[in-house]
Amino acid sequence: MAKPVVAFTDVDDLDPEPGVRLLADAGFEVRVVRSRDPDVIAASAAGAVALVVGYARIDAKLLDRLPSLRILATMSAGYDMVDTAAACERGLWVTHLPDSATEDVAAHALASALALVRGLAHADAAVRSGGWSADFRELPRRTGELTLGLVGMGRIARVLARYAAPLFGRVAAHDPRASASGWPEGVDRLGLDALLESSDVLSLHCPLTEDTHGLVDGALLSRMRPGSWLVNVSRGELVEPHALLDALDSGRLSGAALDVFPVEPPEARDPLRTHPRLLLSPHSAFRSGASLRAYAVKPAENILAWHRTGAPLTPVVTPAPGARAEGATL
């Protein structure tokens, strides 16, 4: 009897070997496609019952070319690369990794916020160019006098709020979907307008959806406190690039830290790469030795749990009972 097939799409700089080994030891045939091209994925993953997904777009057309699929396991907390409605219609499970890099992303967001407030990038540039404190003209502000605002109150934002509480004078957040009973102590709950008007640093922690795509546009930026800072470690498409650049040029924003971009990597001449008031990192907020191993292993564990019990560990799409995809036969 042929072994059931699991295929990894793009893995970028992740090492899939720990997950590959776990699945192979359980009796699966594992193929590492290393591509986001739908034609390459469709050909290489033919007959696969499970797909481990990086950033490749998994839409209805691709799903129709892979009729054997029963489960899609993403290698990230976000799952906007998967057409979840199309997956649900086809009776497929979709899973994600809700907490594999929570601490890492929260720490990166806090480090970015502090670097902006303290002007570390400009201070570093001044020293490297032969200057000293007289060339560092903008005085940093004391964090204890500032408000950190969070858009979204999920796992990462909650950890960030805990990390930031001893440093910032106030932590506030907006999340209309969060329950009042589970709201963390010490974080002021505000409407979006009130949050924008009162935050000195605004950090984005919301998923990418139709409603949040381009959330940070010219209108939103115009409502932010003059001279404030923006941090984005979530999804690049949350921020409208031209509006951000205009706000930086006009001085509405003192600076911004971006770990994510609408196009990754951005082109060499993209002004997001070169603006002097931007602090940049290469979509690396999630990276640590522990998280990179988890990103390879936990999708495999989701597939193994589905195979053994009929349900994965961390689903975000559960098929309707009549269309539920069963585990693989080994």
* pLDDT tens digits, 8-57: 999 887 899 999 999 999 999 999 999 999 999 999 999 999 999 999 99
Residue 328 falls inside a structural domain? no
Residue 329 falls inside a structural domain? no
108/231 same-domain check:
yes
Please report the pLDDT score of residue 322 as a whole number.
Answer: 60
CB 229 within 8 A of CB 251: no
Q: What are the structure tokens assigned to 174, written together?
A: 């907006």
CA 95 – CA 280 distance, rounded (Å): 30
CA 293 – CA 296 distance, rounded (Å): 5
CA 123 – CA 58 distance, rounded (Å): 43
CA 126 – CA 114 distance, rounded (Å): 18
108/83 same-domain check:
no
CA 214 – CA 228 distance, rounded (Å): 19
Sign of the Cα pseudo-torsion (193, 195, 201, 203, in order): negative
CA 160 – CA 164 distance, rounded (Å): 6
CB 251 within 8 A of CB 258: no
Residue 261 falls inside a structural domain? yes
129/212 same-domain check:
yes
CB 228 within 8 A of CB 202: yes
Structural domains counted in the chain: 2
> Counting beta carbons within 10 angstroms of the beta carbon of residue 78, is it exposed (0 to 12), middle (13 to 18) or buried (19 or more)?
middle
Distance of CA 70 to the CA centre of its chain: 25
50/22 same-domain check:
yes
Which residues are within 8 A (CB) of 186 and not within 5 positions of it... i.e. 6 or more apart?
161, 165, 171
Please report the pLDDT score of residue 14 as a whole number.
Answer: 85
Residue 203 falls inside a structural domain? yes
148/176 same-domain check:
yes
Please report the pLDDT score of residue 78 as a whole number.
Answer: 85
pTM for the structure as a whole: 0.86
21/144 same-domain check:
no
Residue 53 falls inside a structural domain? yes
53/154 same-domain check:
no
Residue 133 falls inside a structural domain? yes
Residue 310 falls inside a structural domain? yes
Decide which of 245, 260, 280 is a domain's last residue.
280
275/174 same-domain check:
yes
Please report the pLDDT score of residue 182 as a whole number.
Answer: 85
Q: Find the length of the chain.
A: 330
Domain containing 96: what range?
5-100+289-323
What φ, ψ does residue 281 adopt, rounded to 5°? -145, 155
199/188 same-domain check:
yes
Please report the pLDDT score of residue 1 as a whole number.
Answer: 67
Please report the pLDDT score of residue 325 as a whole number.
Answer: 55
Residue pLDDT, tens place only, 189-215: 999 999 999 999 999 999 888 899 999
CA 174 – CA 160 distance, rounded (Å): 14
Angle made by CA atoms 113, 285, 11, in degrees to the nearest 5 = 165
Task: Give the CATH number of the domain where residue 52 resides.
Answer: 3.40.50.720
62/168 same-domain check:
no
31/135 same-domain check:
no
CB 35 within 8 A of CB 78: no
CB 153 within 8 A of CB 172: no
> Which residues have a catalytic role annotated?
235, 264, 283
Residue 330 falls inside a structural domain? no
179/192 same-domain check:
yes
Taking 70 as the pLDDT cut, the residues of the chain under it are: 1, 321-330
CA 260 – CA 266 distance, rounded (Å): 10
Please report the pLDDT score of residue 134 as a whole number.
Answer: 81
